[in-house]
Amino acid sequence: MHNIRAELAKQVHRPASWLLLAIAVVQTITFAYIIPYAGSGGPVSRGLDAMLPSGFVSSSIAGLPLFIGALALIFGVLVAGSEYGWETWKTVLAQRPSRLSVYGAKLVTVAVGTFVMVLALMAFSAATSAVIAGIEGRPMAWPGVLDILQGFGAGWLVSTMWGALGVLLAILLRGVALPIGLGLVWMLAIQNLLSAIAAPMLDFIAQLQKGLPGPNAGSLVAAITGPNQAPGVDALVSGGPAALVVTAYLIAFAGIGGWLLRRRDII
């Protein structure tokens, strides 16, 4: 608990953590509400009903498989990778917590950070949808508690998986800049190229992507929001198997990161 409190305090006082949260909220509200409400057309079609309170859960988590998930990955990199840039690993470990204790505290910090992020996205999305419903004179029909909890759980699972990948990349590459760069290239470029270009032409690529983290994250969100709510949200597999695959990747990323930190030299 001392390690967890120390890690949480470190991130709470870090402006970059709040900047990532602010970017996630602004990006979600802008692309899920403001732009669709102000105009029409584009590759993702959103009618007025999708922007009302009944659809706020879908609006808040639709960006997590790709764009908002990239911010969770950056957060994970910062939580673990900054120790290499600041050269503080030796200082922390010299105070006699074990490597795995410190590593576990970092994973808990990532989980708490993604919890706060998903909670903020849902809160701001709910408020924005209520404003739109008031402007349009539409009834305030909110989804059920179970639907809200299900959407929150799926969003938290997906974002925590991306955060754990960020932690793993930071430990593997011992830094911040390169892990962020490679992580974003994978999430925003390679995954999209595989799905949009390679998969339609090569059947084995189409089957292979069903086992990758991004498509399964998108399938899990699509099971709740419906497909094509945002880029990367597509029902390639059903919701149950997608949740299992995302959970397996989360456990694998966390386990490999801990093994690397324990076995390798710090510098």
Residue 49 falls in which region: left (phi positive, over 0), alpha (psi -120 to 50) or beta = alpha
Q: List, run by run, the mean pLDDT of 10-residue segments along the chain (267 residues).
A: 92 95 96 82 61 92 92 96 87 85 95 97 96 90 94 96 97 94 90 81 85 91 82 85 96 96 81
CA atoms of 265 and 36, how far apart (whole Å): 50
pLDDT at 92: 85
Specify the 3-state DSSP secondary structure of 101.
helix
Number of domains comprising the chain: 1
Q: Which residues contact 47 (CB under 8 A, 6 or more apart)?
A: none
Is residue 209 within 8 Å of 194, Cβ to Cβ?
A: yes
pLDDT at 267: 63
CA atoms of 234 and 44, how far apart (whole Å): 12
- Rg, the chain, Cα only: 19
The boundaries of the domain holding residue 155 are: 2-263
pTM beyond cutoff 0.75: yes
Backbone dihedral angles phi then psi of residue 206, each to the nearest 5 degrees:
-60, -35
pLDDT at 74: 97
pLDDT at 46: 64
The candidate with the shortest Cα–Cα distance to 67, out of 121, 13, 16, is: 121
pLDDT at 44: 43
